[in-house]
Amino acid sequence: MKAVLFDYNGTLIDDDDINDEAWIATINELSEGKLNAKDFYVDYIGVRNVPFVEAIFRELDLPYDEEKIMYWAKLKETKYYHTISRRKKRDHLKPGAEELLYYLKDQNCPINMCTASLDVNVDFYFDYLKLGRFFDRDLIVYDDGISYDKKDMYIEGARRLGVEVKDCLIFDDSPASIRKAVEAGCENLVAIKKENNPDLPQIRQRIKDFTEFDYDLLDL
């Protein structure tokens, strides 16, 4: 492998419960209780923040307002996700993740992070979890409104490292993102175990956390 690309939410950190709670709180506040937040959320798990909020606006028959939509998309992170993360003391990466990241650094293996999160959340991760120990903040690919989906993000994440996606090992947990990584040209994936992980030949290993990862797959 010439490089390694990481998804963030649900991959490097266990935060599914935090995202669930943050989105449900946001839906409840925005809709003023008019929507069944839990039922609505199930249909949009994994969708980027802005399209998610746009869907809420449509469901509520609210006029499209780009400024207000971005306001709510960022409020979900700053008011809820960040607050809940601190309350739950979710201030650590998945078991084995730091060891792998330090190993890759020692081996001079290029790495990057491709996340559907907004910039305010990426800044939060770098500050709260000290991700600058491993990643170059300027290289991170996030939801900047330019990349259409995770396929584009993985292609761009590899490009910024000077390699092609086919030469990268990708870690991801989302079924949709895993499929997008394959569409991008990835031939080697490690999936964080979930009940609905797709069955694809490009998935070389399924792990609960990074303590189970087979380092031989790196082929450095």
Same domain, 134 and 213: yes
Boundary residue ending a domain (47, 68, 87) = 87
3-state SS record for 36-99: CHHHHHHCCCCCCHHHHHHHHHHHCCCCCCHHHHHHHHHHHHHHHHHHHHHHCCCCCCCCCHHH
Domains held by the chain: number: 2
Q: Is the pTM of this model over 0.75?
A: yes
Q: Where do the H-state alpha helices sit in 88-199?
A: 97-106, 119-128, 150-159, 175-184
* Interval 42-96: pLDDT, tens: 888 767 889 899 999 999 999 999 999 999 999 999 999 999 999 999 999 999 9
Same domain, 8 and 40: no
Same domain, 149 and 67: no
CATH code of residue 164:
3.40.50.1000
Using pLDDT thresholds of 50, 70 and 90, give the confidence band for residue 149.
confident
Q: How far apart are CA 149 and CA 142, in angstroms?
A: 10
Same domain, 172 and 100: yes
Radius of gyration of the chain (CA): 17
Same domain, 103 and 189: yes
pLDDT value at position 43? 83
Residue 144 has pLDDT above 90, yes or no: no
Q: What is the mean pLDDT of residues 24-29?
A: 96
Using pLDDT thresholds of 50, 70 and 90, give the confidence band for residue 116.
confident
Same domain, 176 and 149: yes
Domain that residue 134 falls in: 3-13+92-218
Same domain, 9 and 32: no
- What are the C-alpha distances in Å from 72 to residues 8, 81, 127, 175, 181? 21, 12, 22, 26, 28
Same domain, 209 and 107: yes
Same domain, 51 and 99: no
Same domain, 202 and 115: yes
* Interval 156-209: pLDDT, tens: 999 999 999 999 999 999 888 999 999 999 999 999 988 778 899 999 999 999
Boundary residue ending a domain (87, 111, 146) = 87
Same domain, 204 and 139: yes
- Tell which wins on pLDDT, 47 or 41: 41
pLDDT value at position 212? 98
